[in-house]
Amino acid sequence: MPIVNDLGFIHYVEFASAKSDRETHENPTTLLLLHGTGGNETDLLEMGKQIAPEAAIISPRGKSLDEGVPRYFRRLAEGLFDIEDLKFRANELADFVRAAMRKYNLDPTRVVAVGYSNGANIAAGLLLLRPETLAGAVLFRAMIPLVPENLPDLSEKPIFMAAGESDPIVPKEQAEGLATLLEKCGALVTLHWRTGGAHALTKEEIVLAREWFATNFISFG
């Protein structure tokens, strides 16, 4: 399906392939692809297909602009988020996902976010503010987006995180803090450290995410 501007977001949609988990499940898992700062709805398509080649895909473009490039929510400075905007955008995105699942006849209980950097942060925001939106998540280079007053129940939700030990954008304590926060909410967190790693991803991390996805979601449901 071509890129469409509907339901409040410019987004890309791709349905599950013919040889997909539709053969073993009534409905396929859907990947919610969430790009980093300056990306768009096509940036993570190849990576998403590597992680879950049989899944459907919904990939929305971030609606907040930072020096003219897309993000999912505003920041006041590097690593300092506009929390009120984050809350608004997380709820807006959750409402979009719900509407998109209905429009495209996809199972709303089988949505797994795959986010990088700013996209991983808004995915973490969805988990903390609108946990019913996601069945799980792959968070590449994520940090703590916020700490809600009331922690959500993320019992048994699988989360894969990949972080760089020397990431200049996401300090190590931020990645560790997010993993701890999600675990406190009951999530099943797998945290992979890239030794000496920077903010960019490696093929190894994508392979690990694919293996994690296969273990947790191919037979999900």
11 among known catalytic residues = no
| Active-site residue (options: 66, 155, 199, 219) | 199
Which secondary structure element, helix H or strand E, spans residue 64, and what is its range? strand 64-66
Q: Which residues of 137-163 are buried (b: 16+ CB within 10 A; e: fewer)?
A: bbbbbbbbbbeeeeebebeebbbbbbb
User: Which pair of tokens denotes residue 161?
Assistant: 């995180």
59 in catalytic set: no
How far does the chain reach from its first CA to its final CA, in angstroms?
26
Identify whether 17 is a catalytic site residue: no
**Exactly one of 17, 153, 167, 192 is catalytic; which is it?**
167
| Cβ–Cβ < 8 Å for 122, 90 | yes
Cα separation, 49 vs 41, in Å, equals: 14
Catalytic residue (one of 17, 107, 117, 166):
117
Residues designated as active site: 117, 167, 199
